[in-house]
Amino acid sequence: MTVVPPREAPRATGRRRPSALASWALAAPFALLLLGTVLVPIGYALYLSLFTERLSGLGFDGPRDVFVWLENYATVLTDAAFHEGVGNVARYALIHVPLMLGGALLLALLLDAAMVRLRQVWLLSVFLPYAVPGVIGGLIWAYLYSPNIGPLNDLLPWDPLGSGGIMPSIVTIATWQWLGYNVIIFWTALRTVPRDVLEAARVDGAGPIRTALSIKVPAIRPTVFVALVFTVIGSLQLFTEPLVLRTFTGSVTSTWTPSLYVYESAFISNDYGRAAAASILLALACALLSALVMRLSARRSR
Amino acid sequence: MTRPTAAPGRTSRWTSRGAVYAVLVIAALYSVLPLVWLLTSATKSLGDFSTTSAFEFADWNLWSNIGDLFAAEDGVFLSWVRNSLLYAGLGAVLGALICAACGYAIAKLDFPGRRVLFAVTLTGVLVPTTALALPLYLLASELRVVDTFWAVFIPLLTNPFGVYLARAYAEAAVPDEVIEAARVDGAGELRIFFRVALPMMLPGVVTVLLFQFVGIWNNFFLPLVMLTDPELFPMTLGLYQWSTRVSQFPDYNPLVITGSLLAVVPLVIAFIVLQRQWRSGLASGSVK
């Protein structure tokens, strides 16, 4: 009774589910890349972070990898240079994150206001720095800050490349680079706020500032939180700008941020165990912070 | 009731309009002036560069600066241009295709391991590039491929965020009925992807391609770690290396500045021409 009549067989095969093999053929190239360039390197770094190079015996056999448990992590976590780098990144983030998101939000709200003309021109001009590679952005600003070359050294009341001015100088570069990117993201999100809600607010007598703060900003809160996550992760990884400025000033040390610390331990001190441990710690910090921000955003938007 | 106060209301509207434009002008100047400086400086001779003021055009030396740039160190700059185009061009096309295939599979096909793959991909989005560069270097040195084209090219193909976007595009743009119909017609899964789904996802895939191109063009840390042979450098790394010499050899100043201009101009033009494309791309990336 349950035997399928032969005539219906073609339709049955026509409705077949895709074979797992064919599906994996499409997914495999990326899966392999992810495995080979993300998962395996992380695993290898974890492994390496547990070893250190020591001279064996009397030193006649040359250096040997010795399993040291978490010693490399302890070394990094108690290293004054690492602490200083973490402190720098924390101070940097405290200035950069509010400045970036506040500035981008303000510009997006202004551009969303009805009266502004030439909107495309404003959007494009603030977005242009995003097209500039980070190294080149760093170089341009390094010249602008340089005495005898750039105008900023004379214009600013402080020395932009001196030890006191270097932090605002680096914040200025990074904010310049990413401001327009966030403006565009916020502005496009603002466009999706229903116009009849805004119209209702206007009829109720809310002014543009009131509307912006009570309706528009809450409406795009999820977008702002995503931008917050990316800005925070970006801050933790601060590397290119200080590295480029290092050439122009002695105010930036070789371990000025945790990323520079990783670079220094690997390529100047050739201590791969310590460098791997610092890399893992950096990745963990990024993961924890983004999980934290996500969690906060989930709670807030409820 | 508000009629009598119309006059003061109007003046306050004028002042607020003035305030709005003041903020916009400041933001625009902050964004554009450094690029104007790059343009004016690239046209100056080494002498004028240190004696004339920052934003003025002195004697027009751009062409001779460009000539010097391409002649310096046996024309290594040309190799950097070629390498950047190769890394970014080929990497973007191939990477976008790989992202599209995987995103489509995750969105539209039911296969074992699909959920795990997506979860790992999302984790991949959050792994910071600077934390990954060193492990990649160590692995590459274990495999003895450090200082080769592939050591830079292959890791740059991996774009978890691109897969995330491609999945969203496939979800939105490719109806299940169309795939079903193609199956009834007897088309294989690969054929369905290339002939049916990919064309429907094309605007999204172009967006992924665009951003991957910019990402690779701007990339710096990975080449810095992987490469020592100047012949393999992309423009960013090459210019950085030159910049580390300027304090000792001022002759490198015009090379660095003119080279920077040439590295920036193509992308600036591309962004002006493709405005609509990248703006919609950014939007779909940010709104979940």
- Best of B31, B38, B102 to disrupt the A interface (most A CBs within 10 Å) is B31
Rounded to whole angstroms, how far apart are CA atoms A123 and A232?
24
Closest C-alpha to B100, from B201, B175, B210: B201
> How far does the CA of residue A269 sit from the closest CA of chain B (Å)?
14
> How far does the CA of residue A187 sit from the closest CA of chain B (Å)?
9
Rounded to whole angstroms, how far apart are CA atoms B77 and A115?
47
pLDDT in tens, chain B (288 residues): 444 444 445 566 677 788 889 999 999 999 999 999 999 999 888 877 777 777 777 778 888 899 999 998 999 999 999 999 999 999 999 999 999 999 999 999 988 999 999 999 988 887 888 888 889 998 998 899 999 999 999 999 999 999 999 999 999 999 999 999 999 988 888 999 999 999 999 988 988 998 899 899 988 999 999 999 999 999 999 999 999 998 888 889 999 999 999 999 988 888 888 877 777 777 665 544
Task: Quote ipTM for the complex.
Answer: 0.88
* Cβ <8 Å between B286 and A188: yes
Residue with tokens 């001009």: A125
pLDDT of the residue at B227: 96
pLDDT of the residue at B5: 43
Q: Cα dist. A135→A1, A129, A177, B257 in Å? A: 74, 12, 11, 12
Rounded to whole angstroms, how far apart are CA atoms B26 and B29?
5
- Best of B49, B138, B159 to disrupt the A interface (most A CBs within 10 Å) is B138
All residues of chain A having their beta carbon less than 8 Å from the beta carbon of residue B130 are 237, 239, 259, 262, 282
Rounded to whole angstroms, how far apart are CA atoms A207 and A202?
7
All residues of chain A having their beta carbon less than 8 Å from the beta carbon of residue B138 are 41, 44-45, 48, 272, 276
Residue A102 contacts residue A182 (beta carbons within 8 Å): no
Taking residue A295's Cβ as centre, other Cβ atoms within 10 Å add up to 10
Rounded to whole angstroms, how far apart are CA atoms A299 and B17?
37
pLDDT in tens, B247-275: 888 889 999 999 999 999 988 888 888 87
* Cβ <8 Å between A267 and B283: no
Q: Which of B102, B139, B185 is facing A30, going by the closest CB pair?
A: B102
pLDDT in tens, chain A (302 residues): 444 444 444 444 445 566 788 889 999 999 999 999 999 999 999 999 998 877 666 656 667 778 888 889 999 999 999 999 999 999 999 999 999 999 999 999 999 886 778 888 999 999 999 999 999 999 999 999 988 788 888 888 888 988 889 999 999 999 999 999 999 999 989 988 888 888 888 888 888 888 888 889 998 988 898 899 889 989 999 999 999 999 998 899 999 999 999 999 999 988 889 999 999 999 999 888 888 877 877 766 55
Residue environment code for B21-30, b if the CB has 16+ CB neighbours within 10 A, otherwise e:
eeebeebbeb
Rounded to whole angstroms, how far apart are CA atoms A36 and B168?
24
- Residue B194 touches partner A, C-beta closer than 8 Å: no
Rounded to whole angstroms, how far apart are CA atoms B213 and A101?
26
Mean pLDDT of chain B: 88
Residue with tokens 């969203």: B168
DSSP label of A67: E
Q: Which of A110, A131, A139 is facing B239, going by the closest CB pair?
A: A139
pLDDT of the residue at A214: 86
- Residue B180 touches partner A, C-beta closer than 8 Å: yes
* Cβ <8 Å between B34 and A176: yes
Region label for A252, one of left (φ > 0), alpha (ψ between -120 and 50) or beta (otherwise): beta
Helix boundaries (H) for chain A: 9-14, 20-34, 40-48, 71-77, 80-112, 119-127, 134-145, 152-155, 166-191, 195-203, 208-211, 217-219, 221-236, 240-246, 258-267, 272-300
Residue environment code for B45-69, b if the CB has 16+ CB neighbours within 10 A, otherwise e:
bbebbeebebeeebeebbeebbebb
pLDDT of the residue at A153: 83
Q: Which residues are CB-contacts of A43 (< 8 A; sequence separation ≥ 6)? A: none
Please name the residues between 107 and 166 in chain B that touch chain A, using a CB distance below 8 Å: 109-114, 117, 120-121, 124, 126-132, 134-139, 142, 154-155, 157-158, 160, 163
pTM score of the predicted model: 0.88
- Residue B190 touches partner A, C-beta closer than 8 Å: yes
Q: How many CB pairs under 8 A join A and B?
A: 284
